[in-house]
Structures are given as C-alpha cells and as structure tokens.
Structure 1
Amino acid sequence: MPDRPISVCFPFIGDEIGGSHVSAIKLIRALDRRSVQPLVALHVINGPLADYLRDCGVPFVEAPAGAPPGRAGQGGPFPLGAGTLAYAARATGPLTRFLKSRTVDLVHTNDGRIHAVWALPARLAGARQVWHHRGDPEARGVNWLAPLAASHIVTVSRFARPQRPLVDVSRRISVVYSPFDTPSGHDDRTAARAMLVETLGCPGETRFLGYFGLLIERKRPLAFVEAVAAYARRHPEVPVMGLLFGVPGSEAPHLAEAVVRRAEALGIGDRVRLMGFRSPVEPWMQAIDVLLIPAVREPFGRTLIEAMFLGTPVVATDDGGNPEAIEHGVTGLLVPPEAPEQFVDPVHALLTDDAFRERITKAARDRAFATYGVATHARKLMAIYRAVLNGSEHTRSFRRSPDQRTVP
C-alpha cells in the first residue's frame, strides 16, 4: 500500500452512456479523495460520456491510442473479438506508458472492450486491475481473461458471477450492488406527470408504461412494444402509451427504427414514443405509471432500483438479476421471460387497484432506502482497493457467505 492516496484509473470508451457508466461515475464522485485519487480516461472525448462527465463536474483526460473498434462484427460476445484484440496489441505500449507516467496503482475497468484493452497494460505498468463485471455470466471475457488477468473481480449481482471461470476465482470475487443516490423530491409525482403530458401533448387521462435503458437486444425493447400492444388489445378502454427512454447501443444501432416498425405493424404506432436519453432521469421516471422491464439475462438493472426509490411500480421478467431485487408480490411483480403478453394482468392490476399499487410501491421504497446507497457502495469498493494493494493475501480481509463474497 502506498503512503499516499491510491491512484485509481477509470478508463472508458466514451462512445455511449448507459447504466454501467452512471454507476461508475457515482462511485468516482463518492470516493474519499483523502484515500483515493481517481483518474478518468476516455478514448472518445467528443461523445456522450464526455458530455455527461462535464455535466457531473468530473474531470477527464484523453486516453492514448485512439478509440477501440465497436462491438459489432467481432465474432461473438465481446470483449474477446478479433478487432478488439488486434487493437489491444497496438495500444499496449501507449497505455502502459500512460499508466506509468501517472503512477497509477490500480485500474478499475467497467465494460467489455475496456477490460480486454487495459488488462495487459495494467500488468506491465505494475498496477492491479479490478474487473467490474456488469454483464452476462457466460461472457468469455469474465470466464477466460478475467481469471488470468484481474487482481479482483466485482460483479453487480450473484447472477452475474462467472459461470465457468478458467481457473478458480472464489478468493478473488465480490458481489457489490450498484450505487444509487437517494432521490430528492421523489413524492412530487403530480408535477412530473403534468410535465410529461405537456411534453407529449396527449390527454391528461393517458396512462404511461415506461422502458428506461439502452436499446439493445438483451433489454428487449421490441418485447416492450409487444407488451404495450397486448395491453391495448385486452384493455381498449384504457388510453395507454408506451414510452422508451434511451438510445440505441453501439452494437444495435438499428433498434430505434425496429421499434417504430414493430409498433406500426402491431397497430399502435401512435401509442409508442421514442423519448431519447433524458437527464436527470428522475422526473421522467416519476411521471410514468408502471415501469416494464422485459430484459433477459439482465445482471442487475439500475432502472429497477431507481423506480423503487421513486415510488414507480415495477413489472419485470423473472430472469437474470431481477429476482435479487424484486420480491414478487411484495416490492414488485415478476413475469416469465420472453412472454410479453404476461405483462398485461400485473400492469392492469397496478393501474386499476390503488390499494395494491400503494402497498407495492411503499414496500419497494422502504426496501430501496434500507438496502442501497452511494456511500455504502464507495466504502465497499475502497475496501477492495486497499485489500488488493495489500498483496497476494488480500482475500483474508473478506468475509465469505455461502453464495457470495462481501466486504466487511
């Protein structure tokens, strides 16, 4: 351990922004500068993440070696596509010199391409790597490369832990749930709804079903459209609209157009709107009546917890990390995955039974306030940083439970 604040580099591509970036930036802002000095490096400095960092007041520098290739066409699940590996080989020298010149102690990586690109430079520069896995437990990167390269693996849920790691990682892995700010003004739903009605120019009695997140295949935006259509067919008496808040991910730029085409094909083209990325997100999430999460293999979606904080009821697929956050019938409702029509009954109950809705949202809000928080997340990550830098026996400082490793 250095006798100065730990220098932690947070590299990002910068060509998109999603829940993982929001979580990482919340951590960066919350770190105690007396103990940790963060260094944010972007490969793309004119993209959406740079704008978001500026809005948050988080300084950043440009990473050397330019931008890695996009995710599309890499021959299977990233980060081990051929394009990324070829780029990583070219970038190793510049990134290693970058880390050495800034005396970086630890590199905290947060997405697939970054994990692969920065793993070798971190090792060559004498820095440790914390691999923060927020994706598929079957991903090749977390099962093949992370066990060999990373000093420690952090997953956002028990579901997201690597399923078949190349070597045993049981003493080098922790489950740390993502951080969430305690929202202010979270009970002003009337004003939020009025804002949304005015923005859309729709009748005040319209009921809003919401999708929040990147438009990527795993999150199933087309299934959201199908769920809205199924509800409209079964309950034509209810004026309902489906609103998608988010932008296409870099690996699926076609999905925005596909959403529009699917809505038109189902006869609800006038009931589905693409709302784009909105920040801050809280007023928009307050304004909707029900949040729908049709995603499959979602490690641990931010929007689910944000809705719980804000008093917006959630209907989510019983898949991935969703059941770790939602207790069915208590803090939300779970439905089978890949079955959009299964959303209809729970959504209708929430829209028509005020007592049921109030019971669900109160229990969800209480659970969220009791369980999640930025300060707790930052404390756990700082404990991991200290343990990793204490040397090869760092895992003795962790307490193990039957199904996860947590930080004391």
Structure 2
Amino acid sequence: MYTASRQMRVSIVMPSASPTGGAEEAFCQLLKSDAAKAISWQAMFLEPGPLLERVAEWVEFATVIPSGRTREVWKWWYAVDQIVARTQAFDTDLMLSWMTKGHVYGGLAAWRLGIPAVWYQMGLPDYGFLERASRQIPASAILACSEFVAEEQRKAQPGANVASIPLGVDLKRFSPELLPSPRTAREQLNLPVDGPIVGIVGRLQRWKGMHVVLDAMPDVLSNHPTTHCVVVGGPYPAEPQYQSELFDRAERLGITQHVTFAGARNNVPVWMQAMDVFVHASFREPFGIVVVEALALGKPVIACAPGGPSQIFGSEAVGTLVPFEDSKQLSDAICKNIEREEAASSNQTIARRFSNETFSTEVVNFLHEHAGAASLAE
C-alpha cells in the first residue's frame, strides 16, 4: 500500500496513441505538467500511434499493449494479463485509466492486483457494451471532465464515488497578445476583412452541430448581409459523409459564398482570433475545451444547453446558451452578439479558471488522496 515515504507510482492506461482530440490533449497536458513531476508514471497504450514517442519524454516507462476489440474476450484477457505484469513490475501504487475503454482494461488489472483504481470519464455515460462492462469493474473513484458528466455518471452508477475536475486549456496558445490582431489574422487566412465573422471549430460530426450553424446563416444574413461563416475542422472517419452533407446544405441554402470550410488546421488559435462570434453547437457536450479557448481570446461565445458549457459560463454574465438544433434561437443569439458593443474582457477572467496548470494540479492531488484507498468502490 502507498505511503508518503517514497514517490508515488502510477500506471496509466490510455486507449489510443493517436492524437485525435481533446481527450488525448488533456492526457498529454497532465503528463508534461510540473504537477505531474510529483509522481513516477508508467504509460500503457492499447493501440500504437505517435503519442508513444511524445509521452516517453515525460514518463519513466511507455509501451503499447495491443488489445484488439473489447468483444474479443481472449485478446482482452491477454491484454489485461500484460497490464497486470507490467503494473506489478512497476511497483504501482494506483491505476489511472483514461476514458471508459481504459478502465475496462486498467480497472480489471487493478482489481486483480488489489490496488486502487481511478478512471477519468471524458464523455457521457451510455448503455452500450463498453459502458455496461466498465460499470461492473470496481473503481475507488471516477473523475469526470465536468459536473454535467459527473451528474450523468451518478445517475448511471448510483453509489459510485464520482468527482468532477474540469479539463484545462493551454492559455498561452490562446493569448490575444501573442497572436496577430483579428484584422491581420483575416488577411493571413484570406478571409473577408470587412463584416462580422461567425465561426465554429471541431471535428465534422453531426452531434457537434455544424449543420445547425449553416441553417442559422440565412436569418443572420438577412440582418447582417456582410456576415461570413467559418467552419474549422476535418472529417471524422466514422462519419465521412457528413462533410459532403455540409457542402450540399450550404449550396441548398444559397450561402456557399458566405461560408469557408477550412478543414483541419494546426493554427486554430489564429482562425479563432479572426472570428467575431464563436459558436459551439454540440448536443450534450461533455465539457467544451474550445469554449474556454474562445473565452480566453475574449470572444463572445454561444453554446448549447444542456452540457458542459453551462458549468464553464457559471453564474457570470458570460456566454449565451441556446437549445440544440434550434437554428432560429441560434440566429437570434448570433445577431445579438454581432450587435453588442461592449468588450468581452470578463470572458478572459473566466477562462483563467480552466488552465492546464489548475487541471493537472487537481488531478495529481486527487490521486495522492486516493492512493491508499480500497480498490473496491462501495
């Protein structure tokens, strides 16, 4: 059992070593943080990818343990055997699993070894095979990326020890002082220099609501004819048709000349800096990292409720919430934000509450608190 007489040792199970989104970025931000240096880490990936080499710089040991599909029980059990062996060899005090799939493997290994297991829930709980399996595997605690996710997890798993630690953002990347001015950003990106720009950022998935933003644009254009819409994000492999649906929708709505589909971009902060109004139109968004990023830039933000953005906005007079897939309310909110004259300086104050440093410190402190806990959740 862990004692304070030596540095704590944590094995962490990550489903994939491919940097596909916010979950992987949060994973990296944790391991490379100053707070993480208080722990000796071992990282085990269930699928290969470029993150393996990157993470190896921050941890004592990193490896890939091929897992196959979770339904392939023989491969699942073999992978768990490998995790057990490596966890035991590392003299691990606590198992941290990243996301549901991570816990299905890491949590089972921790149970076999009799060590505490904590897993970080990035998405909303559902009732698919993987989620049902995860709820049968003991955990000392479940961390959620927002209070919205925590509440849903408590409903799905009554009696579980659930706490929320909101994700963090690299605020330096989204510092207006370190980026070109909005006008210069537009010039660099070949966007219209005059007129308001409304933007949305994210992988092209239906639940992220890019189609709703397009549906709102004709109404917006009738009030503000020089408005331009920017969609930043590439296609999602599981929904390859959604991108072409968006192209067709823009043409059908007659707004093609008012929309830029930028695709996936590495210089997202510059694209967001060029925007006047930022929209996050996701359905039941677990957290909403891009919401914090836009607030850090001082942009007016519109998001959908219910979801994580409600927690980000809090009780402050920051941000506008609209129902998902209600293009009329969305267009009204866009117009109001285009017409507002006051600066959104308070947005940056809110964003600072969600720094990577705060996120990493809270996670590390939580792990220290639970390292001596029983491996079984009551």
Question: For this structure pair, what is the TM-score category when the shorter chain's length is used for normalisation?
Answer: 0.7 to 0.9
Measured after TM superposition, the shift of residue 362 of structure 1 is: 1.5
Measured after TM superposition, the shift of residue 220 of structure 1 is: 2.0
1:405 match: none
Measured after TM superposition, the shift of residue 137 of structure 1 is: 4.0
Where 2:200 maps in the other structure, the secondary structure is: strand
Determine whether 1:92 maps to 2:80.
Answer: yes
**C-alpha distance in 2, partners of 1:166/1:362?**
40
- 1:144-189 superposed Cα distances (whole Å, 9 cap, x missing partner): 62464222101122211214344511xx221111122333642466
2:357 match: 375
Where 1:350 maps in the other structure, the secondary structure is: helix
- 1:11-55 superposed Cα distances (whole Å, 9 cap, x missing partner): 2313452122222221222253552122333344335x558x47x
1:347 match: 334
Where 2:108 maps in the other structure, the secondary structure is: helix
| Contact 2:124–2:286 under 8 Å retained in 1 | yes
Change (3 A) 1:4 1:280: farther
| Contact 1:176–1:380 under 8 Å retained in 2 | yes
Determine whether 1:224 maps to 2:174.
Answer: no
Report the residue type matching 1:364 in the other structure: N
Determine whether 1:306 maps to 2:314.
Answer: no
2:104 match: 116
Measured after TM superposition, the shift of residue 331 of structure 1 is: 0.7
Change (3 A) 1:9 1:226: farther
| Contact 2:7–2:40 under 8 Å retained in 1 | yes
Determine whether 1:366 maps to 2:346.
Answer: no
Change (3 A) 1:158 1:236: closer
Report the residue type matching 1:265 in the other structure: R
| Contact 2:145–2:167 under 8 Å retained in 1 | yes
Change (3 A) 1:383 1:256: same
**C-alpha distance in 2, partners of 1:230/1:335?**
16
Determine whether 1:42 maps to 2:45.
Answer: yes
**C-alpha distance in 1, partners of 2:340/2:192?**
21
**C-alpha distance in 2, partners of 1:317/1:164?**
21
| Contact 1:143–1:165 under 8 Å retained in 2 | no
Residue 309 (structure 2) aligned to one of 311, 319, 322: 322
- 1:211-237 superposed Cα distances (whole Å, 9 cap, x missing partner): 1223233322222332334423x2362
1:4 match: 6
**C-alpha distance in 2, partners of 1:158/1:18?**
20
**C-alpha distance in 2, partners of 1:131/1:293?**
27
| Contact 2:140–2:373 under 8 Å retained in 1 | no
Residue 193 (structure 2) aligned to one of 200, 204, 219: 204
Determine whether 1:390 maps to 2:372.
Answer: yes
Report the residue type matching 1:7 in the other structure: R
| Contact 2:313–2:350 under 8 Å retained in 1 | no
**C-alpha distance in 2, partners of 1:65/1:196?**
44
Measured after TM superposition, the shift of residue 192 of structure 1 is: 4.8
Residue 101 (structure 1) aligned to one of 89, 104, 124: 89
TM-score normalised by length of structure 2? 0.84
Aligned length: 369
Measured after TM superposition, the shift of residue 90 of structure 1 is: 4.1
1:400 match: none
Change (3 A) 1:33 1:346: closer
Q: Which consecutive residues of structure 2, in runs of 5 or more, have no partner in the other structure?
A: none
Identical columns (%): 20
Measured after TM superposition, the shift of residue 5 of structure 1 is: 2.1
Change (3 A) 1:92 1:254: farther
**C-alpha distance in 2, partners of 1:294/1:368?**
19
| Contact 2:111–2:375 under 8 Å retained in 1 | no
| Contact 2:116–2:374 under 8 Å retained in 1 | no
| Contact 2:204–2:243 under 8 Å retained in 1 | yes
1:401 match: none
**C-alpha distance in 1, partners of 2:80/2:375?**
28
| Contact 1:130–1:150 under 8 Å retained in 2 | yes
Q: CA-atom RMSD, angstroms?
A: 3.1
> What aligned pairs does 1:4-403 form with structure 2 within 5 A after superposition?
4-10=6-12, 11-32=14-35, 34-46=37-49, 49=51, 53=54, 58=58, 61-65=62-66, 68-69=68-69, 82=71, 87-139=75-127, 145-146=134-135, 148-161=137-150, 162-169=153-160, 172-183=161-172, 185-187=175-177, 191-199=181-189, 201-232=190-221, 234-235=222-223, 237-244=225-232, 246-279=233-266, 281-327=268-314, 330-355=317-342, 358=343, 361-369=344-352, 371-392=353-374
| Contact 1:152–1:173 under 8 Å retained in 2 | yes
| Contact 1:88–1:118 under 8 Å retained in 2 | no
- 1:240-268 superposed Cα distances (whole Å, 9 cap, x missing partner): 12222x33344433333332232223222
